[in-house]
Structure 1
Amino acid sequence: MIKNRTAHRLAAAAALAAALSAGPVQSALADGRAGAHPVSAGKTITAAGAGKPVKAERLPDGDGGWQGDGLSLNAADNKKVDAFLARARSAERTVSPEMEAVARISHATLVGFDHRLKSPDSLKRKVATAMKEAPGQTVDATLARINDSIRYTLQWPDGSYTNGVTIASSALALWGNDSVKWSNTWGRKHGYKGINAAWRDPHSQHAFEVQFHTPSSKWAQEATHKLYEEQRLPTTSPERVRELQEQQDAIFMSVPVPDGAEDLTAPAQTRPQPARTLPAPVEQAAPAEQMAPAA
């Protein structure tokens, strides 16, 4: 097991070096653009935020706050969430070209790339929910816990999943991203199956989420999404919450577990450490016979 894992790490390092030397990827990384990027399937990945714009609601008194689904943020907190979203948009320009390169070297499919930025309404709903569930928690503390304002999904067939995750996660670490979360739920008997990881970009210090899926686990996630959203609403009764959980469990029970997926762990930090100044050499004492005074 250890030998195989080491081999995968070495393969990831070699593949990453090859990706860095490739012209199109290298130029994208150099200027930090995240516009249209070709993918292996022949499709074109469009810029972040494509599709219908999402307009945040304002509180009835027009004070610049937000509300939705029985939740709300005051003007000051809403402004801080907007600033957080602006930082996410800026960080995404650097992270997305890296993720495209990681997908190439690990032979993964980037799923849902057009939705890599969390929408304003979705983020504000998540922040407001967290603050309601933890009375007294500030918006700053809440935002510090959010890892998915930028999010990506890498997907492999069952047979290449374990090797693909090992190479992709090693490449992210080799790129200098700090692993801040690793949730492997493949071993669960009930509920969600997959790996949800989070990393901190070394340039912007902004966190981003990477989900590792198979086609079956990704399908199950999408099939249960509306059930999960309803389950999280503050207006959902405890009885309905249990019913929704049972429905999700039944769907995830049908997902096959790839060989070795339960044992996948976060890679060790491999970012090069800054050079250290070596101490000056210490002069050795002369041998005792040389130090003795002449008779």
Structure 2
Amino acid sequence: MTRVVEVSADAVAGVRSDVAAVRASLDADWGSLRSRALALGVRTSGFDDVLGAGDRLGTHVLPVVDRHLDRARALEQLRYGSTGRPLPVLDVDPAPVAVPFTSSPLGDGGAILTWAAASPAEVEADEQRTRESRGIGDWVSDRWDDVSDAVDDGTDWVADTAGQAWETVTDAGAAVGDWWESTTADLGAWIDTHLTGVREFIGRHVAVFRFLADALRIVGWILVAVGVVLAVALAVIGAMGGTAAGAIFGFGVGAVPGGAAGAVAGLSFGLKVLGVGFTLVSVGDFLDVAADWGEGKIAGQDLVKLGSLELGLALTSLIGVGVVGKILQKAVRHMPASWRRRIDDWLAPPNDRHRPPGSATEWVGPNGLRLSGDEVAEVDALLLAASRSEPAITTGLQRALGRVDGATMPGLEFRLKSPDSLYRKIATDLEGNEPPRDVRRAVSRIKDAVRYTAQVPDADFARGVELVTSDLSARGFTPVSWKNTFGQPGYQGINSAWRSPDGQVFELQFHTPTSFDVKMRSHDVYERLRLPNLSRQERTRLLAETVRIFETVPMPPGATALRGPEIR
């Protein structure tokens, strides 16, 4: 019996696309639901489990599917080349073995086996095979090839195992990094929202904070210098067994036996002075960070990150551990700018690094969406620029919204668009374009790589929007677009885009509490409207559903008359 087994790389790629689509859907749908539940004070453990399952699809399932896809493609190329069709493989069941003898039963239960004489043709064929048989050298060569193949297979296994172990380590590091980013973002947003009085106090007395910071650093560096001198001098004195010198200085060196023990005793005292000096330097740097926050130069998340670093170095310097960290920190700060950028890019998460053309891997999304490696690199460059500009933009917006009573910034932790969401948006924009696709033009049209929502109470909505926009203009932000849909069928809100002083375009939406709540509840409809190849009937139905949902939003006084700033 013969069976045809089909090995299809395209079918495996389809499975991979479906898994990626499920993961993307979980991130988009359940992420927004979790955000809403968190805002309402509802426990989010169930949402976290679902999102965790989505993460495991990316970290555990997709790598396995990718390996099978690579093997299927390699099999196609190995024997037949790229055919674009399923690869047929014959599976043949073994035929029955012909018995070369006859059996005659005996009376005692035994049997006589009789072999027929070989025919002349069989004898000739056997002699011909003997003449054509290879020597021992060929046999040894074949065995050597078998050994070489086994060694290659073992080497590949070791490389695959080491690669998987390294991926596990990097995934764990990425998970810790993601947790740190999320935690500092949440804590920073809480600080910016609830500690505005502290921020204003620091802003009013920033000169005092700067003076104290400089004074602590000066005293700290003096102690560092004294500690270095004492560490060297007392180590030498202790090693020489300076009993008299120890009695004069009163450091107890004389009570310690000479030699190595005396050197350790002298060195330890000098290092203690050195640690106190670096502690004062770190406290001074912390006061500088606080002053930057008070002046609006950094956001709350940066205050948490930089402040916790400086306080951690201050505490650990007292026991000597933080001394090394502080020295490295100061060394990095005084490196050339080009060196620091390389270090920042190396330390950045993989999705935030700008990879040169040709080095990035392709992205495969739902519904056949795809980006090449070079296209992914262009999007990554946009993500990197956005992440670098975001802190200053966030600070400016928070100070502008601080002028409006009751104004908040819901969803601030999602102010940076995720790489997967941006890949999907660019791929949708480019779909249907013939190669080479103009990905740079598509990237230049993106306005929401950094995005914010300003939520203003209904009663003060019109005045609040005008205050925020005028404040942004005064701070050097330039309006790029303005669309007010209050009073029109469907979506209710104001979508605007601005350019920061350093050139980064970002999106700013204005909502009332109700319009924002309805927007979040209609997110699923919005995501379905974004899908490519949507039929006209389905699009019409979804638009009608959007109109029905937003009809429940009350009209804030004066909202329809808001024309926005002049677009130049």
- 1:204-248 deviation digits (Å, cap 9, x = unpaired): x01011100001111121111111111211243322222111111
Match of 1:73 in 2: 371
| 1:218 correspondence with 2:516 | yes
Counterpart position of 2:404: 106
Deviation of 1:20 after TM superposition, in Å, equals 11
Shift of the 140–63 alpha-carbon distance from structure 1 to 2, 3 Å rule, reads: closer
Query: In the alignment, residue 401 of structure 2 is paired with which amino acid?
Result: A
1:124 corresponds to which residue? 423
Q: Structure 1 residues 229-238 or 192-201, which shifts more?
A: 229-238
CA distance in 2, matches of 1:194, 1:20: 35
Number of corresponding residues = 232
Report the equivalent of 1:180. 480
Q: Is the 1:154–1:210 contact (alpha carbons within 8 Å) kept by the matching residues of 2? A: yes
Choose 1 or 2 for highest CA Rg.
2
Write the distance in 2 (CA, Å) between the matches of 1:23 and 1:94.
21
Change (3 A) 1:161 1:31: closer
Contact 2:447–2:505, Cα closer than 8 Å, also in 1: yes
2:301 equivalent to 1:35 = yes
Q: Pick from 461, 464, 473: which aligns with 1:161?
A: 461
2:456 partner letter? W
Task: Say yes or no: does 1:267 pair with 2:565.
Answer: yes
Q: Select the residue among 492, 495, 498 that pairs with 1:193.
A: 492
Is the alpha carbon distance of 1:198 and 1:95 closer, same or farther for their aligned partners in structure 2, counting shifts above 3 Å?
A: same
SS of the aligned residue for 1:236 comes to coil
TM-score normalised by structure 2 residue count: 0.38
Point out where structure 1 has 5 or more consecutive residues left out of the alignment: 1-17, 39-52, 57-61, 271-295
Contact 1:65 1:74 in 2 (8 A): yes
User: Bigger CA drift: 235-244 or 86-95?
Assistant: 235-244
1:257: Cα distance to partner? Answer: 1.3
Change (3 A) 1:264 1:138: same
SS at match of 2:452: strand
Cα distance, 1:32 vs structure 2: 3.4
- Mark the CA change 1:22 to 1:236 in structure 2 (over 3 Å): closer, same or farther: farther
CA distance, structure 2, for counterparts of residue 123 and residue 242 of structure 1 = 25
Q: Which residue of 2 aligns with 1:151?
A: 451
Q: Call closer, same or farther: CA 1:118–1:54 in 2, change over 3 Å.
A: farther
Structure 1 pair 246/30, CA: closer, same or farther in 2 (3 Å)? closer
How far does the alpha carbon of each residue in 1:114-146 deviate from its partner, in whole angstroms, 9 at most, with x for none? 000000011111111111266676111111111
1:197–1:212: structure 2 CA closer, same or farther, 3 Å change rule?
Answer: same
Which has the larger displacement, 117-126 or 233-242? Answer: 233-242
Quote the Cα distance in structure 2 between the aligned partners of 1:19 and 1:184. 37
1:191/1:248 contact within 8 Å kept: yes
More helix by share: 2
Bigger Cα displacement from structure 2, 105-114 vs 126-135: 126-135
Secondary structure of 2:560's counterpart equals helix
- Name the structure 1 match of 2:213: none
**TM-score, L = length of structure 1:** 0.71
Query: Do the aligned partners of residues 249 and 26 (structure 1) sit closer, same or farther apart at CA in structure 2, a change above 3 Å counting?
Result: farther
Aligned in 2, Cα 1:238/1:269: closer, same or farther, shift over 3 Å? closer
Measured in 2, the distance between the counterparts of 1:109 and 1:254 equals 22
Partner of 1:171: 471
Distance 1:134 1:194, change over 3 A: farther
**Quick one: structure 1 residues 167 and 135, their matched pair in 2 at CA, closer, same or farther if it must change by over 3 Å?**
farther
Which amino acid in 2 is paired with 1:35?
Q
Alignment of 1:206-285 (within 5 A): 206-268=504-566
| Structure 1 residue 23, shift from structure 2 partner | 6.1
State the distance in 2 between where 1:85 and 1:252 align.
Answer: 32
For 2:303 and 2:523, locate their aligned partners in 1 and report how far apart those are by CA, in whole Å.
28
| Structure 2 Cα separation of the partners of residues 143 and 55 of structure 1 | 16
Deviation per CA, 1:39-80, whole angstroms, max 9, x where unpaired?
xxxxxxxxxxxxxx9989xxxxx9701121121111101101
Cα separation, partners in 2 of 1:142 and 1:68, compared to 1, 3 Å: same
Asked which structure has the greater RCO (Cα within 8 Å, sep 6+), the reply is 1
Change (3 A) 1:106 1:63: closer
Query: 2: distance between equivalents of 1:162 and 1:31?
Result: 28
Aligned to 1:281: none
Aligned to 1:95: 393
CA apart distance, 1:31: 4.1
One-letter amino acid of the structure 2 residue matched with residue 72 of structure 1: R
SS at match of 1:191: coil
Q: Secondary structure at the match of 1:153?
A: strand
Moved over 3 A (4+): 18-26, 29-34, 53-56, 133-137
**C-alpha contact 1:149 1:208 (8 A) present in aligned 2:** yes
Q: CA deviation at 1:106?
A: 1.9
Q: What 5-or-longer segments of structure 2 have no aligned partner? A: 1-199, 207-289, 305-348, 353-358
In structure 2, relative to structure 1, the CA distance for the partners of 1:94 and 1:63 (3 Å cut) is: closer
Cα distance in 1 between the residues matched to 2:442 and 2:362: 17
Return closer, same or farther for 1:68/1:80 CA change in 2, 3 Å cut-off. Answer: same
| Distance of 2:412 and 2:498 partners within structure 1 | 17
Code of the residue aligned with 2:426 in structure 1: it is: V
Distance 1:210 1:20 in 2: 28
Matched residues in 1 for 2:510 and 2:201: separation?
A: 20
Asked if the contact 1:34/1:92 (under 8 Å) is kept, the reply is no
